[in-house]
Structure formats: structure tokens, C-alpha cells
């Protein structure tokens, strides 16, 4: 008997838990764990359950659709290792952390490929026998480069694309191919600094904390629903390069934590926010 993850979100109505559990019970399935949340402001219902039992030939999703509101998104996923593609540029801290975690079975995913606009990281990726694709951005315009990247990505089946310090801005056209399936990590500060070299700006402002935010990518590379955040403390003794180094440590931890949540199908997206069970 296998475990499945059942995720449902829809407009909120009375009796939804009853209707779901009624279907599951009469299908002879057991709820190992369930979480439920109602976003009362937007009147939206979120439900996630780990379900065990013989699910193969019973058309569970169809049965659920009959009793749930019309706008219900119902996803039933067998618990399995997901496939991910990592996109990076030159920095290795996030990429390397994920490569190592996969190597030591601490990442619930298979890294099927790494794509980069430079070839700096090829040596590292080769060590782990994972396909590395250098898709150079030089001498061509953004649209052409993205077409080339897409051509590479299309060779793989993958569940998520992880931007592990991929430093190119992505067009809306590109991003819309990966709605809810692309994750990014970026530095974040109290207060926020935008523009070039944010660590230098944060240094000049004398911040006492350095943070990182992992989020789904929507139109804007550094916005989108937040999955995980964390900060570490710094002092006046930190040069802006020390801050960057500290930032690398928190970035890799936050990205890894966010992936752990996504890879277990714990994250819903709604109204530019996440609901995480």
C-alpha cells in the first residue's frame, strides 16, 4: 500500500471536510494526516492530506470533483522523488549544497540537469555526473537566449525549475511556462535595497541582519509568493564582502528549506501568497 498526497483548494463552503472525508471513507482509504486552512478574507479553502490505501483504480479525483465546488483544484500525487532542473550563473553555494544533498540522499529529488549562462560551474556539476548545459547569453538578445534555454529544458521532464542564483532577468513569456513550478532565492534586508550590489548598499546603511527569501517566480524575478525566509546577524566589523559571505550561508539554507517544503507537496499558492502545511 502506498501513500498519496491529496491537495485541494477551492472557494470555501460549509461541509467541505465532511464531503472529502466521506468520499475517502467510502473508497476505503485512510487519512494518515490532514491539514486544512480557510483564508477567510478571500473565502478560500485549502486542504492537504496524506492518504493511504488502494487508490489505483478508483477514480478518486473524479469522485471528489462530483462533490466539491466547481472551482476546485484537486491534485493527487503518489509520494515520489520529484525531478528538478537547476539554473545557475557563477556562484556555487546554492547549487553545491543541493548537489551534495542529493548525493547523500538528503534531498527528496533527482537533479536531472543544470543549466547555466556561463560555464564556470561545469567542473562542479561534472563531479556529480549530472548533465551540465552551458547556454551562452552573449551576443544574442534576451528572447533568443530564452528560446535556447527553453530548448534545453524541453529535453527533460521535470517537476520544478530551481533558480539557484541565476542572475539573468527572465521575461514574462519565459516565466509563464513554469507557473507555480519555478523557485528563486534572493537576498533580502531590513530595510530593503534595490538595484546594483545590494550587499554594498546594506553595508553602507549599517544593517545588523542579512536575510534571504525563497519564492515562486511570477512576472517579477524578485517578487512572487514567499515560501521561506531567514536572517542572520552581522556587525560593524563585517565588510560588504563579509556580508556577501554571510548572505551565501543564509541563502543556501533558505533555498534548501523551501525545496524541502515544495518537494513534499506542502505548498499552495493563492493571491500571491503561500499556504504551507
Binding flag, residue 30, a copy of itself (CB under 8 A): yes
Among 3, 10, 11, 31, binds a copy of itself (CB under 8 A): 31
Q: Note every long-range contact of 36-39, with CB atoms under 8 Å and residues 24 or more positions apart, other chains counting.
A: 37/275, 37/277, 38/12, 39/12, 39/270, 39/271, 39/275
User: Of 89, 85, 75, 78, which Cα lies nearest the Cα of 109?
Assistant: 85
Work out the angle between the directed axes of helices 240-263 and 198-205 (0-180°, nearest 10). 120
> Does residue number 172 form part of the binding site for a copy of itself (CB under 8 A)?
no
**Smallest separation (angstroms) from a copy of itself to the CB of 259:** 12
Residue ranges in 53-72 that form contacts with a copy of itself under rule CB under 8 A: none
Interior CA angle at 212 toward 210 and 217, to 5°? 155
User: Least distance to a copy of itself from the beta carbon of 150, Å?
Assistant: 28
Site for a copy of itself in 142-161 (CB under 8 A): none
- Distance in Å, CB of 188 to a copy of itself, minimum: 4
* Residue 188 binds to a copy of itself (criterion: CB under 8 A): yes
- Which residue numbers are catalytic? 222
The binder of a copy of itself chosen from 221, 227, 243, 255 (CB under 8 A): 227
- How far are the Cα atoms of 143, 149, 191, 196 from residue 138, in angstroms, in the given order? 12, 13, 34, 20
Closest CA relative to residue 45, chosen from 11, 6, 15, 7? 11
Q: Residue 92 CB, nearest distance to a copy of itself (Å)?
A: 4
When asked if residue 231 is in the footprint of a copy of itself (CB under 8 A), the reply is yes
Dihedral sign for Cα atoms in the order 177, 275, 89, 93: negative
Overall residue count recorded for the chain in this entry: 277
Where on the chain is the footprint of a copy of itself (CB under 8 A)? 14-18, 21-22, 24-25, 30-40, 91-93, 96-97, 100, 103-104, 106, 124, 127-128, 188-192, 204-209, 211, 213, 225-231, 233, 235-237, 245, 248-249, 253, 256, 271-276
Amino acid at each position: 500500500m502506498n501513500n498519496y498526497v491529496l491537495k485541494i483548494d477551492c472557494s470555501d463552503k460549509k461541509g467541505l471536510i465532511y464531503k472529502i472525508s466521506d468520499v475517502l471513507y467510502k473508497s476505503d482509504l485512510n487519512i494518515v494526516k490532514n491539514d486544512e486552512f480557510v483564508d477567510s478574507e478571500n473565502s478560500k479553502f485549502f486542504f492537504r492530506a496524506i492518504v493511504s490505501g488502494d487508490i489505483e483504480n478508483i477514480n478518486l479525483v473524479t469522485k471528489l470533483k462530483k462533490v466539491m465546488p466547481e472551482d476546485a483544484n484537486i491534485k493527487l500525487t503518489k509520494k515520489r522523488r520529484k525531478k528538478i532542473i537547476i539554473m545557475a550563473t557563477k556562484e556555487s553555494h546554492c547549487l553545491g549544497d543541493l548537489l551534495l544533498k542529493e548525493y547523500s540522499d538528503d534531498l527528496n529529488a533527482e537533479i536531472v540537469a543544470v543549466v547555466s549562462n556561463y560555464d564556470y560551474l561545469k567542473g562542479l556539476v561534472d563531479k556529480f555526473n549530472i548533465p551540465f548545459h552551458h547556454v551562452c547569453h552573449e551576443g544574442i538578445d534576451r528572447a533568443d537566449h530564452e528560446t535556447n534555454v527553453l530548448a534545453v529544458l524541453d529535453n527533460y521532464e521535470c517537476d520544478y525549475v530551481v533558480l539557484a542564483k541565476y542572475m539573468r532577468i527572465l521575461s514574462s513569456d519565459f516565466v509563464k511556462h513554469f507557473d507555480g513550478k519555478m523557485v528563486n532565492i534572493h537576498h533580502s534586508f531590513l530595510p530593503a535595497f534595490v538595484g546594483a550590489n545590494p550587499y554594498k548598499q546594506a553595508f553602507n546603511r549599517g544593517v545588523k541582519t542579512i536575510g534571504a527569501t525563497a519564492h515562486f517566480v511570477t512576472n517579477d524575478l524578485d517578487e512572487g509568493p514567499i515560501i521561506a525566509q531567514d536572517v542572520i546577524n552581522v556587525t560593524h566589523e563585517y565588510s560588504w564582502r563579509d556580508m556577501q559571505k554571510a548572505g551565501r550561508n543564509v541563502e543556501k539554507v533558505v533555498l534548501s528549506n523551501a525545496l524541502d517544503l515544495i518537494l513534499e507537496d506542502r505548498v499552495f499558492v493563492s493571491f500571491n501568497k503561500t499556504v504551507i502545511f
